[in-house]
Every structure is written in C-alpha cells, then in structure tokens.
Amino acid sequence: MSGKKSAVGNFSYEISFHSFAPVMQETVTRDRIKKAAHDLVMRYGIRSVSMDDFASNLGMSKKTIYQYYKDKDELVDAVISDIINRNKEICVCDRQESRDAIHELFLALDMMSVVMESLNPVVMFDMQKYHPACFGKFLKHKDEYLYNVVKQNLIRGISEDLYRTDLNVELMARFRVDSILIPFNPGFTQNVKMGLDEAHKELLIHYLYGIVNPKGYKLIQKYQKQRNDKAKGK
C-alpha cells in the first residue's frame, strides 16, 4: 500500500499502513491472550489455571505470552479491568434503554444471568486470596460505581412512584451492592442447593419486593411474567 504524505509546519512525513501494522498486531495478540485467560478463569477459577494452561489453550509458547504480560498477576488484572469496564458500559446502556427503574433492574438481571451461567463461584475467593490488588479494584468498583448506580436507581424509582417514599436510599443502596457478593461465599450455593445464577436472581427479586410500593409490585409481576414467557418460548 502506498504511503500518504502529510505536512506539519515546515516538515512533511509519509504515513504508511506498514508503520502501524506491528502496533496493530501487538494489540490483537494482547487481546487474544486476554480473551483466552478470561474464558479459562471464568470457567475454572483463577488458582486452577496456570500460564501453561493459557499457552496450551492459545497454541503459543509461554515465552510469547510473557512478551505481553510479565506474569499471571498482570494478566488477571487485565481480565478484571476489562470486566469492570464492560460492566460500566452495560450499566449505562441499561439505564438508557430501560422504560422505568424496575425495568432497569430486570435488564441488569438478564445481563447477570448470561455472565453467571459460565462463572465459577470460586473466582471471587481466588481473587481475594491470591490477587488482592485485583480484588481491591473490584471492591472499589462495587463500593463506588455500583453503589452510585443502585442509589440513582432508587432515586429514579421513587420519582416514578414505583418505590416506597420512606426508603433509606443510602442504606438500601449499600445493602444491595454488598448482597451481590453473598452467592460467592464458599459453600453458599451448595448449602442452599441452587446455582449462582438462580441465587443471584432470588436475591435481586427479594430486594425488589422490599423496596416497591403497590404500583411497583404489579410491575414486578408483569416483568417476571414477560421474562418467564420469553424463557418458555411463548
């Protein structure tokens, strides 16, 4: 491909596709490694997979992986950072596309159902014990960003006459974000005999029923019916 000349001040230079190719290839390779690490970590947990597993899954040498990520901790950090950024994008999208505050939470429930179907509950425990910096990053996201998302949803629901007006917004927002971690406690899903996705759904519905007024109660039932009908293919 021929180059394109551009000028800056009294200087001219040639922009060539080939000058960008190495950078593009490096980005593609980094993302490919990160995607493979994400898939394995979500399925098996963090501790159970090694750099050898990542290399085998990718069909490349560990030496190549180390050219892009200095160690497993850096790779796990990149995976968690991506998950957090993606979660922020989805929260914004749910807010914009939702018809009301309750619908916003049902959209979030649909998203979390997809994530948790393939998520090993041990991931959170592994992150806390073996990658504390990553866990700290997740807690910051939960305690600041997600807390504000939940708080704004509560304010929205009250203004839409769907949530109770006597709610302690700050307390309920903190309760909600902290309850997200409950299904990840070691042994929780085994003790209650249900999967991660089902446990999260039950906790969210319990939370919703506790904050709505009669008008909101009817709307929950409406959205639940729509969700169940969709699952049954009606």
Per-residue pLDDT of the chain (234 residues; tens, 9 = 90+): 445 554 444 544 455 545 445 556 778 899 999 999 999 999 999 999 999 999 999 999 999 999 999 999 999 999 999 999 999 999 999 999 999 999 999 999 988 888 877 788 889 999 999 999 999 999 999 999 999 999 999 999 999 999 999 999 999 999 999 998 888 887 777 787 788 888 889 999 999 999 999 999 999 999 999 988 887 876
With both helix axes pointing from N to C terminus, report the angle between 72-97 and 51-58 in degrees, rounded to the nearest 10: 70
Closest by Cα among 155, 203, 195 to 179: 203
Q: Among all chains, which residue has been given the structure tokens 């509560």? A: 154
Task: Report residue 67: phi and psi, to 5°.
Answer: -70, -20
Domain 81-231 belongs to what topology? Tetracycline Repressor; domain 2 (1.10.357)
- List C-alpha distances in Å: 216 to 111, 147, 149, 163, 228: 21, 21, 19, 6, 18
Domain locations in the chain? 81-231
Q: What is the pLDDT of residue 6?
A: 47
Q: What is the pLDDT of residue 234?
A: 60
HSE at residue 45, side-chain half, CA atoms within 13 A, is: 14
Closest by Cα among 216, 210, 182, 183 to 197: 183
Q: What is the pLDDT of residue 21?
A: 55
Q: What is the pLDDT of residue 1?
A: 46
pTM: 0.84
Q: What is the pLDDT of residue 41?
A: 95
